[in-house]
């Protein structure tokens, strides 16, 4: 017969699996729209199928790095397409140092609508790049972005919007070789001096949802004004902005942001096994991803370009996050610390009687903290060891393979199972009630630390602990309470784990070990003994009567 607490752990594990499946389903991206009336013939609905056909017409099925004859031909085809549809096109050129003088010319494609020349509000720029790397055709990076910008911008023109800002297209060159085109534009083009609002599109793969992963600094007003209008599934969050700002590499958006532009940066990150490789072809390009690129443009530009309201020159940053691709919650970053401190104070209030009457709560707290630290350490070591074992074998010959998600799932299963065994072995001597109280105190203290040290990530700790407090106040039974907290925790954490896993892949075992180990933290209170809990509750009643 299965013991009661083992049955509860099994149910909790099933709940985690259900949440992960739901995240995967929600994060696939929108269904592609089939062929609609083409944009030049009056179509106003963005169609991925139309964009893919445009891809085959304008972009070559071979590498076209900056300066190559293929890249020059690509530029000419794009410029001709724009001119034929009423855009005023400028080719901005410069030279760069190169060992091959025939490939040293950089040429940006800059286009705007002549009917917008009298608009004086801050311009809106749709930006991407048309050059590929030397090793692949670049259908995802960033050919899919190019055709999405072209097709979606023409759909916007056909909608006869009441534009209050001029709309510009900036399709840069030399992005793959060091962001040369973007640097030339911000330094030399008059439009850059107007500090436009920019929506930049790029790819680190060729599939998956389009993630809004980077903004300008002091982004609270922009987040409040624009974030609810990004296209579903709404995949975004302040942790990604913080992570990307700290990384040495960048995109064209990094150049724009450093020069004082405001805006948002979008990219797909799945399909990294095709990134900068010969297999980055239009046949392997996800139609769902192209559809969402276009949807982002047709959803956001009408919001930004049909008003003259300007963003403030200074302001606060925002903490923001999506709930599994549905809605985006945001609040000022300055509220992070007060929120965490309030949760800590309420936690002490609602658990005060338990702290006074429950025996061995301090011991349980120490055991829970030790278990959490041990699990993180063991998980990091396990992740590193598994990666070392898999690397340079047929299972993982290179960092990214098309079956990499299954390898990541295997690593997660090993780490998660090990964490459960370790947690049960250490914490079985305590009651679930003692561990629930210890979890409340430890989690609330962690939320306070995060609010002061890493506020961009603070919601990942504060929101689950807020759920913890509510469940305690509701006085639900131990099992329902544990599942409720696990659900709240997993809704916040599993999507982030999912995206980090996609971004880093199974080769990053050490980091992923630490990330995966956080899943078991929400289940630590369920590692205790239900029978012992009933004895503790009986003793509490006797103490209160005495």
- Per residue in 286-296, pLDDT (tens digit) is 999 999 999 99
pLDDT-derived band at 543, boundaries 50, 70, 90:
very low
Contact 453, 435 (CB under 8 A): no
Pairing state of beta strands 197-203 and 211-215? Answer: unpaired
Task: Give 125's contacts (C-beta < 8 A, 6+ positions apart).
Answer: 168, 169, 170, 191, 196, 197, 198, 199, 261, 263
Distance, in Å, from the CA atom of 128 to the CA atom of 143, rounded to the nearest integer, reads: 9
Average of per-residue pLDDT across 132-137: 94
Please give the mean pLDDT across all residues of the chain. Answer: 90
Distance, in Å, from the CA atom of 199 to the CA atom of 392, rounded to the nearest integer, reads: 39
Distance, in Å, from the CA atom of 127 to the CA atom of 168, rounded to the nearest integer, reads: 9
pLDDT at 2 over 80: no
| pLDDT for the residue 531 | 55
| pLDDT for the residue 475 | 79
Contact 12, 526 (CB under 8 A): yes
Nearest in space to 427 (alpha carbons), one of 534, 540, 523: 523
Is the peptide bond between 142 and the residue preceding it cis, with omega within 30 degrees of 0?
yes
Contact 281, 231 (CB under 8 A): no
Q: Which residue has the tokens 């020059």?
A: 72
pLDDT at 260 over 70: yes
pLDDT-derived band at 368, boundaries 50, 70, 90:
very high
Contact 32, 49 (CB under 8 A): yes
- Per residue in 311-366, pLDDT (tens digit) is 887 789 999 999 999 999 999 999 999 999 999 999 999 998 877 777 788 899 99
pLDDT at 39 over 70: no
- φ/ψ of 24, rounded to 5, equals -60, -45
Higher pLDDT, 358 or 275: 275
Average of per-residue pLDDT across 67-92: 96
| pLDDT for the residue 261 | 96
Helix (H, G, I), strand (E, B) or coil at 544: helix
Helix (H, G, I), strand (E, B) or coil at 267: strand
pLDDT at 51 over 70: yes
Residue 281 CB neighbour total at 10 angstroms: 18
Contact 439, 468 (CB under 8 A): yes
pLDDT at 536 over 50: no
Average of per-residue pLDDT across 47-51: 95
- Per residue in 169-219, pLDDT (tens digit) is 999 999 998 899 999 999 999 999 999 999 999 999 999 999 999 999 999
pLDDT at 220 over 80: yes
Residue 220 has, within 13 A of its CA and on its CB side, a CA count of: 15
Report domain extents, the chain: 4-26+334-545, 48-323
| pLDDT for the residue 33 | 84
| pLDDT for the residue 34 | 78
| pLDDT for the residue 98 | 58
- Neighbour-count burial for 160-188, b at 16+ CB within 10 Å, e otherwise: eeebbbbbbbbbbbbbbbebbbbbbbbee
Candidate from 157-166, 259-268, 535-544 with smallest mean pLDDT:
535-544
- Per residue in 421-470, pLDDT (tens digit) is 999 999 989 988 899 999 999 999 999 999 999 999 999 999 999 999 99
| pLDDT for the residue 96 | 67
Residue 459 burial (CB < 10 Å; 0-12/13-18/19+)? Answer: buried
The token pair that represents 34 in the structure block: 């089939």
Class of domain 48-323 (CATH, top level):
alpha beta
């Amino acid at each position: 017969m299965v013991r009661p607490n083992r049955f509860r752990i099994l149910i909790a594990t099933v709940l985690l699996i259900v949440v992960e499946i739901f995240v995967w389903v929600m994060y696939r991206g929108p269904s592609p729209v089939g062929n609609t009336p083409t944009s030049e013939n009056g179509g106003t609905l963005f169609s991925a199928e139309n964009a893919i056909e445009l891809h085959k017409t304008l972009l070559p099925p071979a590498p076209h790095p900056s300066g190559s004859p293929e890249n020059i031909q690509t530029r000419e085809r794009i410029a001709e397409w724009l001119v034929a549809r009423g855009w005023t096109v400028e080719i901005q050129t410069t030279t760069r140092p190169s060992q091959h003088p025939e490939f040293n010319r950089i040429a940006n494609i800059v286009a705007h609508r002549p009917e917008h020349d009298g608009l004086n509000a801050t311009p809106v720029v749709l930006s991407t790049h048309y050059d590929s790397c030397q090793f692949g055709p670049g259908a995802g990076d960033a050919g899919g972005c190019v055709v999405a910008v072209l097709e979606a911008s023409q759909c916007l023109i056909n909608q006869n919007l009441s534009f209050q800002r001029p709309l510009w297209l900036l399709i840069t060159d030399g992005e793959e070789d060091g962001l040369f085109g973007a640097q030339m534009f911000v330094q030399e083009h008059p439009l850059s001096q107007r500090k436009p609002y920019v929506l930049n599109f790029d790819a680190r793969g060729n599939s998956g949802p389009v993630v809004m992963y980077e903004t300008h600094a002091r982004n609270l007003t922009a987040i409040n004004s624009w974030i609810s209008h990004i296209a579903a599934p709404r995949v975004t969050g302040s942790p990604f902005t913080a992570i990307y700002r700290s990384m040495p590499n960048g995109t064209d958006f990094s150049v724009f942001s450093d020069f004082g532009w405001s805006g948002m940066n979008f990219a797909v990150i799945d399909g990294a096994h095709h990134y900068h490789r010969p297999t980055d072809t239009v046949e392997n390009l996800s139609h769902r991803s192209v559809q969402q690129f276009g949807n982002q443009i047709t959803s956001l530009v009408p919001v930004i370009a049909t008003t003259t309201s300007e963003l403030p020159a200074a302001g606060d940053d925002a903490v923001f996050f999506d709930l599994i691709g549905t809605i985006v919650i945001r609040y000022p970053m300055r509220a992070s610390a007060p929120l965490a401190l309030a949760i800590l104070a309420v936690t002490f209030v609602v658990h005060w009687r338990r702290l006074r009457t429950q025996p061995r709560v301090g011991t349980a707290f120490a055991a829970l903290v030790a278990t959490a630290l041990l699990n993180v350490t063991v998980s990091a070591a396990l992740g590193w060891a598994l990666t070392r074992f898999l690397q340079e074998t047929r299972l993982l010959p290179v960092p990214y393979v098309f079956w990499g998600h299954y390898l990541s799932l295997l690593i997660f299963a090993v780490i998660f199972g090990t964490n459960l065994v370790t947690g049960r072995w250490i914490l079985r001597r305590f009651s679930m009630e003692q561990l629930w109280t210890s979890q409340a105190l430890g989690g609330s203290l962690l939320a306070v630390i995060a609010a002061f040290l890493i506020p961009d990530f603070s919601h990942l700790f504060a929101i689950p602990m807020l759920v913890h407090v509510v469940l305690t106040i509701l006085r639900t039974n131990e099992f329902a309470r544990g599942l409720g907290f696990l659900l709240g925790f997993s809704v916040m954490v599993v999507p982030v784990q999912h995206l980090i896993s996609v971004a880093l892949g199974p080769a990053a075992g050490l980091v992923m070990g630490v990330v995966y180990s956080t899943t078991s933290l929400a289940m630590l209170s369920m590692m205790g003994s239900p029978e012992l809990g009933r004895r503790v509750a009986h003793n509490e009643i006797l103490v209160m009567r005495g």
